Structure 1
């Protein structure tokens, strides 16, 4: 009985994921996207779109189909607000106003600044902590793992694709796993100060 219930829960969850979000399930949104793609994303209309598209948009991977989805998203949001409804999600995300080629400008900037802070602290760690310190390699590795995660977070919030989404989530998971590892190493080092490599990091490595 428990196994059957678990299977039903999993099936329900899969169905919910497959059905998308409220906004992109709306017929008005789907019809808008379909008509926009038919009108602008083939033949001469597509060539015209590409000729007037800013170079930074094309370099960032924004396509005609992406542009249609973006414009139709706001058309749908406008109808929701006009009828007194709450703003819906689209494809599992809340709608954000695009700035230049940034899909989520505030989140992209926050990720970039976090990465920059990690880089600055890594440089400070290099200059203030001897390479012979017991926890030096572990802390430096953690800094690079964090930098990599913030890089992909910035890319993901700049342009959401299947690849950037997977890289963002995967790299964020590596930071969590490495944090757990670092915490365990430091805890063991504090309890057993004679265990060499397990000595705690200098305080600045966690900044």
Structure 2
């Protein structure tokens, strides 16, 4: 029974991944994107789009197709709300209003603030803990791994691409793995420094 349930769950997840999200499966959304690309993303129309595109948008990697997908996402959301339906997800994410070139402003700012907090605590730790401490280098390594993860989280929420998504997930996984390693090292360090252990060593 458990094996059958697991297979059904796996099939459901696989089908869900194959189909995508509700919003980007909508014919209205797909037709809108197709028409927008045909109208704006080739020939002289593309040159016109690039001439009007702000420099910060092009530097952040926003293409004509990306702009079409963004605009059509909100067209589809408007139709959903007009019909009294809930706002759907698009490509596995909830729709967010873009600010300048930042795709998810609130999440990007939150990740940036978490990174700054990690940097402040890293500086405090380095100033107050001597380098000869048993856990010093392990904790310093963990701090840099965390800073790297918050950096890529900020980049990912600023501009969602295949590369930034992978870097965000991989670096977040590295923080989890290093947390486990840190706990194991600390357990061993505390055990080796305990009076019981020292007594056994001197006997």
Q: TM-score, normalised by structure 1?
A: 0.89
1:6 and 1:129 mapped to 2: Cα distance?
A: 49
2:60 maps to 1:51: no
Q: State the distance in 2 between where 1:148 and 1:118 align.
A: 10
Deviations 1:114-170 (A, max 9, x none): 111111111122222111111110000000000000000000000111111111011
Three-state SS of the structure 2 residue aligned to 1:91 is: coil
Give the superposition deviation at 1:7: 4.7
Give the RMSD, CA atoms, in angstroms.
Answer: 1.7
1:53-92 map, 5 Å: 53-92=53-92
Name stretches of at least 5 consecutive residues in structure 1 with no aligned partner.
196-207
Taking the TM superposition and a 5 Å limit, the aligned residue runs for 1:84-103 are: 84-103=84-103
For residue 12 of structure 1, report the CA deviation from its aligned partner. 3.2
Does 2:171 match 1:178?
no
Partner in structure 2 of residue 168 of structure 1? 168
Count residues in correspondence.
195
Cα separation, 1, equivalents of 2:164 and 2:77? 25
Larger Cα-atom Rg: 2
Distance 2:169 2:69 in 1: 23
Structure 2 segments unaligned to the other structure (5+ residues): 196-203
Which residue in the other structure is 2:114 paired with?
114
CA distance in 1, matches of 2:6, 2:108: 38
Q: Secondary structure at the match of 1:103?
A: coil
